[in-house]
Structure formats: structure tokens, C-alpha cells
Amino acid sequence: MDAPSAKKTPAAPPESGDSSDIAGIVNVLIEVANNTRQNAYAPYSGYRVGAALLTSQGNVYGGCNVENASYGISLCAERAAVAKAVSEGERDFEAIVVVTDDGGTPCGACRQFLREFGEDIIVILADKRGRYRITTVGELLPEAFVLNSK
Ligand code: THU
């Protein structure tokens, strides 16, 4: 039996519902991202980021930023969430919520990292007051790099 855990939170899949269902899913994702954000390890920047990634199987993976004294190897919240999902065998993503104080947008590296799994992934950018806007990976990263080596 699946025990509830912070890394994997069941959520209803979005495809069958009306707009109030979607608002409910967004609220669940914001709550998970906010909870995960509390674990952010950001002693250098003080900028705390939480993410919640919804998969097509209806699971939600949280992620937070994890900084390092060697600044450049710090891990962003979005990539932490994606790594958790992929590590659990999931690669089909519906949406990601990112919560920061100011509703900031994902960095370029995270846009490219998300783009690996699809340009139609919905990206919801929320601030600490719960205000949010909705975009997509494709909108955030037009003309992404794709590897055409063969
Ligand atoms: N950060 C993220 O977690 N996601 C982003 O998309 C942008 C930046 C983190 C990295 C670092 O810990 C802090 O925010 C300040 O750059």
C-alpha cells in the first residue's frame, strides 16, 4: 500500500474536469509547492523557491532549491522536482507550479530542463500571496535547443 509522503502526493488528473476542478488542482499544487518551499536550503541568496510537478499519473512531486557554498552547483527547485519524478519512473508531465516571494519566472536552465519533457507543460508562477499566472514551457522558451545529432 502506498503510504502518504512528501515526495509524492496524489492529485486528481486534470483532463476530465471543469474550470472549478482546475482551480482546485492549482490550489493543491500551490499548497504542495508552498510546503516544499519551507524546506528550501537558501542560506546564500535568501531566495526560497518551491515547486510542485503534476504528472499524467496524477502524482505530485515537490522540489525546493538547494544551495551550496560553491554557488554554481546550487540546485533549482524545478530541477529538484523533475529529478524526483524521473527517479520514480515518471516522465509525462502536465503542469508545474513554482512559488517564490515575488512570483519570479524560472531560470533559463530550468526552462531547458523542463523542455526536455515537453513544450506543452503548463507552468504556473505563484507569489507568496497566492497570486499566480499561467503560461507554458513553450511560451517561456521559444526556439529551445533540441539535439539533432543523428
Ligand atoms: N532558483 C530556483 O530554484 N529556480 C529558478 O528557476 C531560479 C532560481 C533558485 C536558485 C538559487 O538557490 C536562488 O533561487 C537564487 O538564484
Do the strands 122-126 and 93-99 form a parallel or antiparallel pair, or are they unpaired? Answer: parallel
* Cβ–ligand 1 contact at 110 (below 6 Å): yes
CATH number, domain at 91? 3.40.140.10
CA dihedral in degrees (106, 110, 116, 122; nearest 10)?
-20
In the chain, beta strands by DSSP E: 9-10, 50-55, 59-64, 93-99, 122-126, 132-136
Q: Whose CA is nearest to atom 10 of ligand 1?
A: 76
Q: Name the least confident of 13-17, 61-65, 81-85.
A: 13-17
* Cβ–ligand 1 contact at 67 (below 6 Å): yes
Q: Is the pLDDT of residue 131 over 50?
A: yes
Q: Is the pLDDT of residue 146 over 80?
A: yes
Whole-model pTM: value is 0.90
Q: Is the pLDDT of residue 65 over 80?
A: yes
Mean pLDDT of 97-111: 98
Residue 76 · residue 65 · CB < 8 Å: yes
Is residue 146 in a domain? no
Show the DSSP H helices in the chain as ranges: 19-37, 77-87, 108-115, 137-140
Is residue 3 in a domain? no
Is residue 149 in a domain? no
Q: Which domain holds residue 16?
A: 9-140
Residue 59 · residue 90 · CB < 8 Å: yes
Q: Is the pLDDT of residue 77 over 60?
A: yes
Is residue 1 in a domain? no
CA of 39 to the centre of ligand 1 (A): 14
Is residue 16 in a domain? yes
* pLDDT top residue among 18 and 97: 97
Mean pLDDT of the chain: 92
Number of domains in the chain: 1
Is residue 2 in a domain? no
* Cβ–ligand 1 contact at 66 (below 6 Å): no
Is residue 89 in a domain? yes
Per-residue confidence (pLDDT) for residue 18, from 0 to 100: 78
Ligand 1 atom, smallest distance to 105 CA: 6
Is residue 26 in a domain? yes
Per-residue confidence (pLDDT) for residue 11, from 0 to 100: 57
CA of 1 to the centre of ligand 1 (A): 35
